[in-house]
Amino acid sequence: MAGAAAAGASKGELPIPAATLALMAARDTTPDAPILMRAYKKESEIEVWKLNKSGRYVFLKSFPICRWSGALGPKTRQGDRQTPEGFYAVGPHQMNPYSHYYLSFDTGYPNAYDRAHGGSGSDVMVHGTCSSAGCFAMTDRQVAEIFALAREALRGGQSAFQFQSYPFRMSAQNMARYRSDPNIAFWRELKEGSDRFEATGEELDVSVVNGRYAFAPSKDPANELLAAARHAREQARVAAFIKEGSAAVRTTYSDGGQNPYFAALLRKGAHVGDVSRPEALAFAGVDEVLSPARGVCARKGGCPDAIGRGPEATKAAADQPRMDAPAADQPRIILAAARVAPMPQTEPITLAPAPFCYSLGRPAPPQSTIAGGMPVLPAVWFD
Active site residues: 127, 135
At residue 332, φ and ψ (nearest 5 deg) are -135, 155
End-to-end CA distance of the chain: 35
Contact predicate 280/254, CB 8 Å: yes
Other CB atoms within a 10 A radius of the CB of residue 373 amount to: 22
The CA distances from residue 214 to 205, 208, 233, in Å, are: 8, 6, 19
Tell me how many degrees the CA angle 68-326-264 measures, rounded to the nearest 5.
Answer: 35
Q: Which residues contact 26 (CB under 8 A, 6 or more apart)?
A: none
The helix or strand, by DSSP H or E, that contains position 136, with its residue range, turns out to be strand 136-137
d(CA 38, CA 203): 11
Q: Would you give the DSSP letter of residue 164? A: E
Give the dihedral sign, CA 169/175/176/182.
positive
d(CA 275, CA 284): 14
The residues facing 63 across adjacent strands are 46
d(CA 173, CA 304): 9
User: Which candidate, 218, 105, 117, 113, places its Cα nearest to that of 151?
Assistant: 105
d(CA 220, CA 54): 14
Other CB atoms within a 10 A radius of the CB of residue 107 amount to: 26
**CA 5 to the chain's CA centroid:** 31
d(CA 21, CA 27): 10
The helix or strand, by DSSP H or E, that contains position 155, with its residue range, turns out to be helix 140-155
